Every structure is written in structure tokens, then in C-alpha cells.
């Protein structure tokens, strides 16, 4: 699929990515769950939430509770296990080189993804924060939960900050909690997405690489 040709040049864009299973190959909470010996329990809830069968915030609270008492050191271990999706770093570099902006919004955890945010010079970001007390995870998150509505709010907030029209934004995601931001964006791209997401997106990528995004948005 191709976008309609633009009369002059591509407008200044804000491209917003979901993180887990979109910008990175894994689900960070499942990597943490493996450390806690509760991978199967957490994975089943994650899958159900991404299909839109469970309220995301409630599912997150339930999953994080299973991580209680994990040592803080597991965060550094999981950071080392994170693998960027093929083409992610190159796409960010390409967007920045052409004067566009990049944001990451995650139902996962800032504790995990902050190093890659810094490394790639991501312009804007929001994610949940794991609460840590006395060197151990408490099984809770602090602050406002980044759920479906919060991701859409972030798109509007970030677009205003970088003076990009909402119709010139792009949202890329794979799960039900990405639907609101994808509906708000000028261009929505489902990336190896759950059926409920693929059905509602303007474009669908069904390959393990983000290289095709540049063509879809006339980059």
C-alpha cells in the first residue's frame, strides 16, 4: 500500500512507537517474569490483554504483583537481554536526519528502556515505573499507569510540544492498548499485530522488520 502523493514535500512528522513487541522484540515484563519463575502466568495475562480481552491497567497491576521481591539487579540483567526490532535504530536515525521527531510510549517500564531511549536520543517518551524499596521490587508501579488512553494523550501532548499537526503524526503498535493512539494519529500502522489492531489500522506490516515504515510514510 502507498500513501497518496504529497504535493511538495513530506511534512514534519512525529512518529510514535509502542515498545514491547514493536520497537523491541520482547515483552519486558515477561523477561522479568522469567526471573521470578512466573513466566507462564504473566505471559497468559499479557496475551489476553493485548487481544483486548482484559482491562490493561488491571492486568498490569496483577502481573507486576507477581514480581514482588525480585532484586533490583534483575533490571540491569533484563536491559542486557533487550533486542531492538530489526530496522528500529536505522528508522530513528533516518527520521532525525530529516528533521522529524520520535516518541516511545510503553505499557512496560521506564526502568528497563531508559538506556535505549538515551542511546537513540528519543525525543519524547512515557512508560510505567516499577516501585523499588530497599533494593527489591515491591510488586507495584508508581504514578499514572500508561494504558490505552494515556498513549493517545501522549501523542497529542508530544505533537503539541514539537509543533507537529496531529494529522501529520504516525502511530505504530501491535496490541489493543495501542488502538486509541492509532485512531488519533494521521497514519496508523499495525506491526505484527493482534487481529483487533490489524483490522483497524490503515497499514499492516506482517514481517519482523520496521524497514517498511519509511516507504509507507514517504520518508
C-alpha distances out from residue 95 to 11, 63, 108, 130, Å: 12, 34, 24, 30
Cell reading at 14: 512525529
Which of the residues 18, 147, 153, 180 is marked catalytic? 18
Distance CA 77, CA 112 (A): 9
Residue 118 is a catalytic residue? no
Residues 6+ apart with CB under 8 A from 159: 14, 165, 166, 168, 169
Clarify whether 147 is annotated catalytic. Answer: no
Question: Bridge partners of 189?
Answer: 172, 203
d(CA 5, CA 121): 30
> Active-site residue among 20, 123, 147, 180?
20
Q: What is the grid cell recorded at 174?
A: 501491535
Catalytic residues: 18, 20
Amino acid at each position: 500500500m502507498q500513501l497518496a502523493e504529497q504535493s511538495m514535500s513530506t511534512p514534519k512528522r512525529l512518529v510514535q512507537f509502542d515498545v514491547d513487541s514493536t520497537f523491541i522484540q520482547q515483552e519486558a515484563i515477561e523477561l522479568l517474569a522469567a526471573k521470578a519463575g512466573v513466566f507462564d502466568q504473566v505471559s497468559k495475562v499479557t496475551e489476553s490483554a493485548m487481544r483486548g480481552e482484559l482491562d490493561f491497567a488491571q492486568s498490569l497491576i496483577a502481573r507486576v504483583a507477581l514480581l514482588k521481591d525480585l532484586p533490583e539487579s534483575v533490571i540491569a540483567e533484563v536491559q542486557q537481554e533487550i533486542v531492538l526490532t530489526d530496522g528500529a535504530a536505522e528508522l530513528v536515525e533516518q527520521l532525525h536526519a530529516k528533521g522529524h521527531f520520535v516518541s516511545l510510549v510503553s505499557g512496560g517500564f521506564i526502568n528497563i528502556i531508559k538506556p535505549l531511549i538515551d542511546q537513540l536520543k528519543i525525543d519524547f517518551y512515557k512508560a510505567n515505573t516499577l516501585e523499588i524499596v530497599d533494593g527489591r521490587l515491591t510488586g507495584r508501579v508508581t504514578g499514572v499507569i500508561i494504558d490505552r488512553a494515556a498513549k493517545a494523550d501522549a501523542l497529542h501532548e508530544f505533537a503539541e510540544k514539537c509543533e507537529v499537526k496531529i494529522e501529520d503524526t504516525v502511530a505504530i503498535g501491535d496490541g489493543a492498548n495501542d488502538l486509541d493512539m492509532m485512531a488519533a494519529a494521521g497514519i496508523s500502522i499495525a506491526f505484527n499485530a493482534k487481529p483487533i489492531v490489524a483490522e483497524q489500522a490503515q497499514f499492516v506490516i506482517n514481517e519482523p522488520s520496521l524497514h517498511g515504515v519509511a516507504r509507507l510514510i514517504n520518508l
